[in-house]
């Protein structure tokens, strides 16, 4: 434990692909700044970067991956199929566009961003559209354009829909998981089905930094709130994706070599949910649905 470095640690996906245990989130890092953020992160030791078609920064992320000086095979990059795409043909086209925009030969992981388009989040089920989008991901996976494939924001019924018809099972489900927001039943369902859960917004998009109870527990462990929050998601056997373009924060977020006690894990799990995410509450993922 003492000498353990998060950058040496991986999870193994159900198809045996190894995925670095800590990823860098890039939502809201502008396209013209994100290549620098990727290079800074890689210099610090990050090998896993998370982007999406919707972030408008795939070009910059790809540039960072291509120019950071580390062999492509040692890096892991994820992107996400836009939530609005629910047909096979559109999905095929969008997958190829991502690869082209990033200037890469392949992508390590591609996810369906959401079971519903954002303007109908948690509305209709879109079961057929998701099966069609999934079939496009499967075909790209079989053609070695994607090393692994998965989903995001999928609840149990959305996952069952895919499992009922797929030829390749999803390897990942990326979910909102942070101190005070822990969908334990869904995490357990995923893990039982060999689906790795990735924890997005592990610092609650910054909102948890305002919570005095979390701050006092962090003090007890002699760590910062982001470190406590990242460690929390790791101890749930999920994969944290903290976002920052600040190299000092990148370093801090990787210094998570400590253990939260079982009792404190329970306290963090049951902490009062965040009532609203301030100006970010307008985003469907923070709408509480
Ligand atoms: N699949 C989905 O639907 C979905 C939805 C949301 C997010 N995501 C993914 O998950 C990633 C992370 O989520 P997020 O961007 O919502 O938020 P987050 O990582 O929970 O929080 C980011 C906020 O925390 C701050 N921060 C980070 N490290 C810090 C540190 N050491 N000290 C102080 N402040 C720190 C950042 O500020 P600075 O930038 O100033 O450091 C930023 O304001 C996203 O970037 C994206 O890749 C996916």
Q: Domains, the chain, ranges and CATH? A: 6-286 (3.20.20.100)
Residue 121 contacts residue 287 (beta carbons within 8 Å): yes
How high is the pLDDT of residue 1? Answer: 47
Q: What distances in angstroms separate CA 177 from CA 39, 172, 197, 233, one per listed residue?
A: 27, 14, 9, 7
Q: How far apart are the first and last CA of the chain?
A: 38
Ligand 1 mean position to 147 CA, how many Å? Answer: 25
Give yes or no for residue 214 having a pLDDT over 70. yes
Asked if 141 is an active-site residue, the reply is no
How high is the pLDDT of residue 3? Answer: 58
Confidence of residue 278 (pLDDT cuts 50, 70, 90): confident
- Smallest CA separation from ligand 1 atom 10, residue: 200
- Smallest CA separation from ligand 1 atom 21, residue: 205
Ligand 1 atom closest to residue 50's alpha carbon, by position in its atom list: 47
Residues with CB under 6 A from ligand 1: 25-27, 50, 113, 152-153, 174, 200-206, 226, 241-246, 249, 252-253, 285
How high is the pLDDT of residue 61? Answer: 98
Give yes or no for residue 2 having a pLDDT over 60. no
User: From CA 262, how far away is CA 255, in angstroms rounded?
Assistant: 20
Confidence of residue 262 (pLDDT cuts 50, 70, 90): very high
User: From CA 182, how far away is CA 83, in angstroms rounded?
Assistant: 23
Instruction: Give the mean pLDDT of the chain.
Output: 97
- Smallest CA separation from ligand 1 atom 47, residue: 25
Phi and psi at residue 242, to the nearest 5°: -65, 140
Ligand 1 mean position to 267 CA, how many Å? Answer: 22
Give yes or no for residue 221 having a pLDDT over 90. yes
Give yes or no for residue 131 having a pLDDT over 90. yes
Ligand 1 atom closest to residue 245's alpha carbon, by position in its atom list: 39
Express each pLDDT in 24-82 by its tens digit. Answer: 999 999 999 999 999 999 999 999 999 999 999 999 999 999 999 999 999 999 999 99
How much of the chain, in percent, has pLDDT values that exceed 70?
99
Ligand 1 atom closest to residue 242's alpha carbon, by position in its atom list: 19
Ligand 1 mean position to 177 CA, how many Å? Answer: 12
What's the mean pLDDT in 95-108? Answer: 98
**Which of 158, 206, 230 has the most ligand 1 atoms within 8 A of CB, as the residue to mutate?**
206
In terms of C-beta density within 10 A (0-12 exposed, 13-18 middle, 19 or more buried), how is residue 1 classed?
exposed
Confidence of residue 4 (pLDDT cuts 50, 70, 90): confident
Ligand 1 atom closest to residue 27's alpha carbon, by position in its atom list: 45
- Smallest CA separation from ligand 1 atom 39, residue: 244
Ligand 1 mean position to 12 CA, how many Å? Answer: 24
User: From CA 46, how far away is CA 245, in angstroms rounded?
Assistant: 12
Express each pLDDT in 167-200 by its tens digit. Answer: 999 999 999 999 999 999 999 999 999 999 999 9
User: From CA 245, how far away is CA 41, in angstroms rounded?
Assistant: 8
Q: Which of 55, 141, 200, 232 is catalytic?
A: 55
How much of the chain, in percent, has pLDDT values that exceed 90?
96
């Amino acid at each position: 434990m003492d000498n353990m470095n998060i950058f040496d640690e991986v999870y193994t996906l159900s198809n045996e692909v190894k995925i670095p245990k800590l990823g860098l989130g890039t939502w809201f890092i502008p396209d013209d700044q994100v290549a620098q953020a990727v290079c800074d992160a890689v210099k610090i030791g990050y090998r896993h970067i998370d982007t999406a078609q919707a972030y408008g920064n795939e070009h910059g992320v790809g540039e960072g991956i291509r120019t950071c000086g580390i062999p492509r095979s040692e890096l892991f990059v994820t992107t996400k199929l836009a939530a609005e795409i629910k047909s096979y043909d559109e999905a095929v086209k969008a997958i190829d566009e991502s690869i082209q925009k990033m200037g890469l030969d392949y992508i390590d992981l591609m996810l369906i961003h959401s079971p519903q388009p954002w303007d109908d989040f948690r509305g209709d089920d879109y079961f057929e559209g998701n099966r069609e989008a999934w079939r496009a991901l499967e075909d790209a996976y079989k053609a070695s354009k994607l090393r692994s494939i998965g989903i995001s924001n999928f609840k149990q019924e959305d996952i069952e829909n895919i499992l009922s018809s797929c030829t390749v099972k999803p390897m990942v489900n990326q979910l909102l998981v942070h101190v005070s927001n822990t969908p334990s039943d869904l995490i357990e369902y995923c893990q039982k089905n060999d689906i790795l859960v990735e924890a997005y917004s592990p610092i609650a998009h910054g909102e948890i930094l305002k919570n005095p109870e979390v701050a006092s527990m962090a003090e007890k462990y002699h760590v910062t709130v982001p470190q406590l929050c990242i460690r929390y998601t790791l101890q749930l056997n999920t994969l944290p994706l903290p976002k920052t373009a600040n190299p000092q924060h990148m370093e801090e977020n990787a210094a998570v070599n400590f253990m939260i006690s079982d009792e404190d894990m329970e306290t963090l799990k049951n902490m009062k949910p965040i009532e609203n995410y301030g100006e970010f509450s307008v985003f469907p993922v923070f709408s509480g649905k």
